Amino acid sequence: MYDFQYQRPATILDVQKALASSPEAMLLAGGQTLIPTLKMRLRKPSLLVDLSGLRAFNEIQAIGEKIAIGAMATHAAVAANPNLKKRLPALADLAAGIGDAQVRHRGTIGGSIANADPAADYPAAVVALNADIITDKRTIAADRFFKGLFETALEPGEIITNVHFKKPEVAAYIKFPNPASRFALVGVFVAKFKDGVRVAVTGAAPSVFRVPSWEEALSASFDPYVIDVDTVPTEGLNSDIHASSDYRAHLLGVLARRAVTACR
C-alpha cells in the first residue's frame, strides 16, 4: 500500500468536512473491494474516511410500505433481520448468498451499490424493487442510478446514507454463482407489484439491466412459461473465461423462470 491518512468521523458533517479537505480522499465502507485495490497499489488516496463510526447508518427499519436500510448495514445484518425476512424475504435471501461469512460480516449494502460491480447481487434487487437511493444531497431513483461498468450517478463526494426498498406482492432472486467468488455469473431478480412486474439482471452485462419484454409478459400472466428463454440477444453480454455470452443469454431465461416459480 501507499501511505495515506485515516479518519473515522462520528457525524455526516465531519465526513463531508474530511472529504472536502483533500481532493484525493476516499470513503471506506466495508472495504471488500477497496482494501484489495489498495494492497495492489491500484488506488492511491491521500485520506481514507471510514464510515463505520456513523452508527445511525446501520439501522434497518420499516417506513410505511417501504423498508429503509442504512448504507452501513452489513450483508449479514440484512440477511438476519427478522423484519426484513418477514416483509421482504427475497432481499434477505439475496444477502445470505453473498460471498462467504467473512465477506457478509464486513461488506455493506451502501458500499456494494456505490461500487456497482457488474456481478454484484444488490444492483438487481435495487432495480427490480424500484428502490430509492438516499444520499446526503438528494434521492436517486433506481432506474437512474446505475450508469455502466463500475459507474453510478453519484457525484464526487456524494455519500449514500440509506436505501429505501418498495415492498412487492411477491419477489425472488435466483443466481448462478461463480463457485469460487460467489459473484453472479448471472442473477435474476423478479418482483411483482400491483401495477406490474419488474425483472432485473446482474452478472450478464457490464451493468444491471431490465428485460421489458419479460416484464410485459409477466404483468399480463404471472407464469414462468410466458418467458421466452432465448429472448435476450447476446450482443452486449459479458463473455469471459467463466461463461460465454451465448451461455449467459440462455441461462438468463432459465433463471428468470426459476425466479418466478420461487416468488413468495
Residue 209 pLDDT greater than 90, yes or no: yes
Per-residue pLDDT tens for 71-107? 999 999 999 999 999 999 999 999 999 999 999 999 9
Q: What Å distances lie between residue 157 and 49, 71, 148, CA to CA?
A: 11, 15, 19
Per-residue pLDDT tens for 112-157? 999 999 999 999 999 999 999 999 999 999 999 999 999 999 999 9
How many Cβ atoms are within 10 Å of 156's Cβ, its own excluded? 7
Per-residue pLDDT tens for 229-248? 988 999 999 999 999 999 99
pLDDT at 161: 97
Mean pLDDT of the chain: 96
pTM of the model: 0.95
- Separation of alpha carbons 189 and 58, rounded Å: 24
pLDDT at 64: 87
| Average pLDDT of the residues in 149-173 | 97
111: phi then psi, degrees, rounded to nearest 5: -65, -40
Picking from 201, 140, 192, the residue whose alpha carbon sits closest to that of residue 166 is: 192
Picking from 111, 95, 91, 125, the residue whose alpha carbon sits closest to that of residue 32 is: 111
- Separation of alpha carbons 100 and 72, rounded Å: 18
**Cell 474516511, located at residue:** 49
Statement: 170-262 belongs to CATH 3.30.390.50: yes
Residue 253 region by backbone torsions, left for phi larger than 0, else alpha for psi between -120 and 50, else beta: alpha
Q: Where are the domains of the chain?
A: 1-51, 170-262
| Average pLDDT of the residues in 183-200 | 97
> Which CATH number, 3.40.50.450, 3.40.640.10, 3.30.43.10, 3.30.540.10, labels domain 1-51?
3.30.43.10
Task: Label the pairing between strands 132-135 and 139-141.
Answer: antiparallel
- Separation of alpha carbons 247 and 56, rounded Å: 43
Picking from 122, 97, 107, 124, the residue whose alpha carbon sits closest to that of residue 33 is: 107
Per-residue pLDDT tens for 31-75? 999 999 999 999 999 999 999 999 999 999 998 889 999 999 999
